[in-house]
Amino acid sequence: MTAAIEIRAVEKRFGNVSIIRDLNLSIEQGERHAIIGPNGAGKSTTFNLVSGHIRPTSGEIRLNGDVISGLRPFEINRRGLSRSFQVTNVFARMTVWENIRCAVLWATGHRYAFWKNVDDLPEVRRRTAEILESIHLTHRRDVPAGLLTYAEQRELEIGITIAGGADVIMLDEPTAGMSNMETDRAVTLIRRLTEGRTLVIVEHDMSVVFGLADRISVLVYGHIIASGTPEEIRNDPKVKEAYLGEEAH
């Protein structure tokens, strides 16, 4: 089976500074993969590289076997990869409903249509309503996204990410800044919404990582030092030394 995401010998330099060095990572289809590592290790940069936000200096990234490095974000998205952002990145002046609906439109084949009534598309309406229901925001559907609470905006962020029906979902610190209760809720939500899809997640909260992930990769200074099951990672001496030392369970 081809890997969902295959990163081969990727390097990213900004000027003379190498942010990512010889990055190799393979994520199987249907796997829940967490990337952990100290601040500044290059986790978000990795996300940006895979999703097309920035281009690798060298190396190759494949999505379901096809080379995607060098493509624009929307081209990668159309091939079935969708990501969320660490800093909430929604459409602030649009309502919650409109936010989700816009994210559904491309995937349902309506593209740039300016001859269809957007309220008259049953498939779009059904999927939008479904996603709103699943992220528990149906009762807030007519509120502009900018007026939501922080936790609600994070949920909306996840909703927008999954709305297009991509089969590879990348979530960048989805529970950052949430209370314990909100985190539990978000984890349940993520688990349910990414059922049957490939999930790549960057997260600082170790209980989330170990509770959610099938496999974990540890990124330090732009290089993966270990990759394996939660059990293997927990017992890996290199990881303990580099990262888990002070946060060990």
Partner 1 sequence: MTDTATPATNIPTAPRGNNLRFYGMWAIGAIALVVLPLIFSSGGALTSFSLIGISIIFALSYNILLGQTGLLSFGHAVQYGLGGFMAVHLMNAIAAHGWFIPLPLAPLAGGVGGLAFAIVIGWVMTKRAGTVFAMISLGIGELVASSSLILRSVFGGESGITTDRTALPHIFGWSFGPQIQIYYLIAFWLMVSTIAMYALTRTPLGRVCNAVRDNPERVEFIGYDPHVVRYIAFCLSGFFAGIAGGLAAINFEIANSAYLGAAQSGLVLFATFIGGTAYFVGPILGAILVTYLQLGLTSVTSVWQLYFGIIFIAIVMFAPGGIAGIVMMHRPLIRAGTLGTVIPAYLVSLVPTLVLALGVILAIETVAHYAESQGSAFSLFGIPFDTGSPLTWAAAVVLIVVGFLVARITWRRVAEAWDRATTVARERGYLA
Q: How far is the CB of 63 from partner 1 (least distance, A)?
A: 14
The 8-class DSSP code of residue 3 comes to -
Q: How far is the CB of 112 from partner 1 (least distance, A)?
A: 5
- Residue with Cβ nearer partner 1 (116 or 238): 116
- Residue with Cβ nearer partner 1 (49 or 206): 49
- Residue 46: CA atoms inside 13 Å, Cβ hemisphere, count? 34
Contact 218, 204 (CB under 8 A): no
Q: How far is the CB of 185 from partner 1 (least distance, A)?
A: 19
- Residue with Cβ nearer partner 1 (1 or 112): 112
- Residue with Cβ nearer partner 1 (18 or 95): 95
Residue 116: count other Cβ atoms within 10 Å of its Cβ. Answer: 12
In angstroms, rounded to a whole number, what is the distance separating the alpha carbons of residues 224 and 226? Answer: 6
Which residues are at the interface with partner 1 (CB under 8 A)?
51-52, 72-74, 77-78, 82-83, 85, 89-94, 98, 101-103, 105-107, 110-119, 121, 125, 138-144, 147, 160-161, 163-164
Indicate the SS3 state at residue 133: helix
- Residue with Cβ nearer partner 1 (111 or 192): 111
Q: How far is the CB of 11 from partner 1 (least distance, A)?
A: 23
Q: How far is the CB of 37 from partner 1 (least distance, A)?
A: 23
Contact 171, 199 (CB under 8 A): yes
The 8-class DSSP code of residue 248 comes to -
196 sits in the region (left: phi over 0; alpha: psi -120 to 50; else beta) called left
